[in-house]
Structure formats: C-alpha cells, structure tokens
Amino acid sequence: MTLDQLRMLVKISETGSVLAAAEALFRTQPTVSVAIKKLEDELGVLLLSRDGYRASLTPEGKMLCQKAKAILQQSEGFEALAHHLAIGNEPELSIAIEASCPMPLILKIMRQSEQAFPHTDFSLMVENLWGAMERVQEGDAELAICPWLEEDLTVESFPFVRSRLLTVAAPDFAPAVGMKQLELSDLQNAAQIVVKDSSHRPRSESYGVLFQGRHWLVNDHFTKKEILLAGMGWGRLHRHLIEQELSDGRLVPLNIRNYPVTLDIEMRVVRKQSSTHGPVAEILWNNFKAFSEV
C-alpha cells in the first residue's frame, strides 16, 4: 500500500470516476485502474464496483476512503513538520513572562508567530519580579518580557511598554478609614502584601517593602489583589491589573507620607547577548520590536 494509491482512491471518491480521477492527478486511466486493483489484491477487499458505466466505490471502499483521507492528512502534516525543521525552525520556543506584564497585548503579538509557525510549540514560563530575566540569563528561555529594574550588559533589550504601580487598599482597610494621609507608623501593624520573587538568587532591593512592618508573601499578583480586595492588607499593584477595581471603588489609592505611592516601571523584551537565535525566535523578537516602535 502506498500513499499514491490512497490519493487515487480519494480522488475517485471526489470526482466520481476513474477517468476524472486520472485527469485530476495527471495520470492515465490504465495507471489508476492498475494501482487500485493492486491495492484491492493487497487488502483483500473490493474497493470499486465495476458493474455500471462508471466505477464507483463499494461500501467497503467508502469506509476505507475515509481512513485514507485521515492517513493522507497525517502524511501532509508529517511532511510540513519535516520541512519546518529542515530549514532550521525551532521545534519548541520558551518565553519567560513576568506575571505583571499585560498578557492580552503579549498574546496579540504572539498570535502572528503562532499562525506563521504552527509546527513550533510555544512554552510560556510565568515568573515574578527577577524570575523572567533569570530564565534568559540561565538559558532556560529564548526571550523574556519583564520589568527593567537595573542595567544588565549580559542581555540585549528594547522598551516594550510602561506600567504604573499604585499603592492601594480596600475602602474599609482599617488603618486608612477616615485618613487623608497616612504615616508609615500607621501601617506597622497592618499586613503589606508582597509578591515573592521567583528567581533563585536573593536580591537586596526591596522596591517599597517596609521591613519594619508585617508582611504576607504570595506567589502571584492576582492572589495579592484578592487579599487587598478583602481588606486584609495594602500594597502596590500595576494599574492595568486593577482598572476595573479602581473604577468601581473596590480599591482606592493610598496617600502615605515619605513613601513613593506610585512607581513607573519600564517593561522590556530581553534576550541573551551574543547568542545564536533561531528563525522563529528572531521573527518573534522583531514582531515585538515593531510594536514598540509604533
């Protein structure tokens, strides 16, 4: 049994005759007839009914024709994947994304690559704070989209978007009720909700963490938001993550003396410096860059 024989069987089904199938396949009628007869002999099943003016598929032939279509579709996928790999495209591409980055925007841009390279599997690694940068530095990810917290000459990068962190709490957060401005001392017994860094190297930078106060450590920004909404603490969150809660008043900005209640962060697309990058990674890099330059 060959793929060519299966194509002939399917084409007979589609065109309604051996002659029409032969013409569609640029073969002679005897060539197609002989190929189908050999397939019948090999399978031990009559595929064509030759009693009428035109040969037509038998019930068994129709059933096997459906299987033939599936086999041919798998064969085409196999050939497409082989071509994809033969020209150097990556079979898998890992991207590290810091959890506070605007995911809908990132996926909108990545959709172009998904459509252009359907045979590349994309692996998204969601990290916190320094974790996404570390995944690139350690070679676990080709690209990272993360806050740019300090200059790093081991990577190359370009600005993607800017994000603003706001210090917020629920309206019934006890220390803030009735207070136009808080002192840091007002918050010493209140829990500051802090997202835990997912990198493996401890950092000395705190970025607004009050070490003299109480802390709740969480693994993601969405858990942090839920705790704040419950009125059980205070903390900074990216504005794009809480637009709706700010609009309907479920979260309110805090005013704290001698504390930076807002912080502007630049998100960058990052990859390892002086490394060889595959075609898919290069195109994805350029797609993000094209967006940032608009």
Q: Mean pLDDT per 10-residue run, the chain (294 residues)?
A: 83 82 83 82 82 75 84 72 61 92 92 83 92 92 91 90 94 87 90 92 71 88 96 95 96 93 94 82 90 76
How many folded domains does the chain comprise?
Answer: 3
From 44, 70, 86, give the residue that closes a domain: 86
From 30, 60, 86, give the residue that closes a domain: 86
Which DSSP letter does residue 21 get?
H
Domain range for 33:
3-86
Q: Enumerate residues 6+ apart whose C-beta is below 8 A from 193.
A: 215, 216, 218, 224, 227, 228, 232, 233, 234, 235
Write out the two tokens for 21: 């199938």
My answer on whether 224 and 139 are in the same domain is no
Write out the two tokens for 146: 């993360």
My answer on whether 230 and 195 are in the same domain is yes
Domain at 255, CATH number: 3.40.190.290
Quick one: pLDDT at residue 117?
82
Asked whether 270 and 143 are in contact (CB, 8 A), the reply is yes
Quick one: pLDDT at residue 87?
54
Nearest to 239 by CA among 226, 256, 251: 251
CA distance linking residue 174 with residue 231, whole number of Å: 8
Element (H, E) at 194: strand 191-195
Quick one: pLDDT at residue 52?
62
Nearest to 193 by CA among 165, 175, 220: 220
Rounded to a whole number of angstroms, the CA Rg of the chain reads 31
User: What is the pTM assigned to this prediction?
Assistant: 0.67
My answer on whether 260 and 176 are in the same domain is yes
Quick one: pLDDT at residue 294?
64
